Structure 1
């Protein structure tokens, strides 16, 4: 049997929903959680941001992780992920990658956290 490097677990935080001015909006006060095992996370990038896109001064650190999870992982672009006690946002929709056989091989997502 091949050795697996996917030995880590994440917690997926999924917001509830509430109506605000007639429109459904995420309700993080009523979020649900579920665990996904068989994952691998790797540092992707980190940067210091001194200005925002609007030109306002801001001193922040942005960290990015790359998540590799089983193809069956229940993960949506609106979710957040907790890993080692730190909560990350998804930087975009998760992507499911096929294997050369045509079966799904894994799910990949970019996780991002800004501090400051």
Structure 2
């Protein structure tokens, strides 16, 4: 783990931010944070076409953000809170670095 002085976003963090940067995917994350849903529920909640939604869910699954659970002819999606927690931890470390920098007024001198 990096110290607050060494905090930075890692390539996996950046990949996850790209995944979350899409408004529909962010909406899906918000919905899945509340409950496990199948594609049919997500279509109803978002108004997205099923094929579009399935493509977004595949990207989220490939990024490790969601996991699937087959249930008959349906597939349920569950958010992986540990993945979001890891990203949140990276931002917490950056915030702590910024607090320390602000408190000590660290500035790089101009040449």
**TM-score relative to the length of structure 2:** 0.29
Higher RCO (CA < 8 A, seq sep 6+)? 2
Q: Which protein has the bigger strand share? A: 1
Q: Which has the larger radius of gyration?
A: 2
**TM-score relative to the length of structure 1:** 0.29
